[in-house]
Structure 1
Amino acid sequence: MPLLQQRRFSRSRSSVGAAREFVLTTLNQWHVDDRRDDIRLCVSEVATNALLHGVPPGREFRVRLSLDDLELRVEVRDSGDGRPTVRQPDAESRNGWGLFLVRELADDFGVTEHLPGKTVWAIFKVSTAVDHEALDDDLAGGGQ
């Protein structure tokens, strides 16, 4: 059975950092130690895109993580219009690198459209298999 955690974030600048912290806390709870920098950067880029381009005023975006054996799936869903596209960034520009980096760092990446909005997702193969018994013990306070 896959592990699942999700959280909603408001349309504010502080939400990008809060989304990164949520992801890192969840990875710690799940004992996922590898690829943390890649995962954190991708969450930051996709959450920033949701905040700047996908979350209408008064709405939120959602970050969802699932871990099934050796595959971590990260999703950021917003309710805004438009479909994100990967552009070849200009080396001189500071813009346009977000989805390019996500595509390069993740093992798989895509966009699922909804009415309203869309989910931008990335998959990372990790070396930590889910040990449900150890995780249950940790969550119950026995792994302290």
Structure 2
Amino acid sequence: MREVIEDEWLRERCYARARRSVPEARAFAARAFADWGLGPRTDDAVLCVSELATNAVRHGVPLGRAFRLRLYQYADDSGTVRIEVHDSGPGWPRTRSSPPGADAEDGRGLLLVAALADKWGVDERNPGKVVWVTLGASRC
């Protein structure tokens, strides 16, 4: 981990391309969501962080580089949070056209994210991309 930013509406941290970064990112996010009172959506949000961080480590971060986890809480009293994972790798994540088989060891991460998030997407950055998710405090 390198840089850390924490204020009322934003939490941000960089993580190395290492498996240990995924549980560290999950714990960091869980603390932020608890501070922000995300409530019943906290588990969904933490799972989204876990899946996006795992994808960054496995597919998005070139050797010797890091990924950035940025968490926002909207300042409009909606309780909505935005999760962003920034990486500098090539490629564009996408959900599979069909679910993975029962014995498959991967391929479910973005399907979970798509099912849990209110919205999700990918934006370009130079270099790389930002994979983002928004979740409201409650689903209506």
Residue 5 of structure 1: how far off its partner (Å): 1.0
The yes-or-no answer on 1:18 pairing with 2:24 is: yes
Write the letter of the residue equivalent to 2:86.
R
Across the two proteins, how many residue pairs are aligned to each other?
126
Q: Is the 8 A contact 1:56 1:79 kept in 2?
A: yes
Aligned residue for 2:39, secondary structure, equals coil
State whether residues 65 and 75 of structure 1, in contact with CA within 8 Å, keep that contact through their aligned partners in structure 2: yes
Bigger CA drift: 97-106 or 63-72? 63-72
2:73 alignment partner in structure 1: 67
Q: Please say if 1:118 is aligned against 2:129.
A: yes
Which ranges in structure 1 are unaligned for 5 or more consecutive residues? 128-144
Paired with 2:82 and 2:127, the residues of 1 have a C-alpha distance of 22
CA contact (8 A) 1:89 1:95 kept: no
Aligned-partner Cα distance in 1 for 2:72–2:117: 15
SS in 1 for 2:40: coil
Alignment of 1:1-144 (within 5 A): 3-68=9-74, 69-70=77-78, 71-87=80-96, 88-92=98-102, 93-127=104-138
Larger-gyration structure (1/2): 1
Residues 21-77 of structure 1 show CA distances to partners (whole Å, capped at 9, x for unaligned) of 000011122222221111111111110000000111111101111111321100011
Amino acid at match of 2:24: A
Alignment RMSD: 1.3
Q: CA separation in 2, counterparts of 1:42 and 1:19?
A: 11
Q: Tell me the TM-score normalised to structure 2 length.
A: 0.85
The one-letter amino acid paired with 1:99 is L
- The percent identity for this pair of structures is 48
CA distance in 2, matches of 1:78, 1:57: 11
Give the Cα separation in 1 of the matches to 2:72 and 2:58: 25
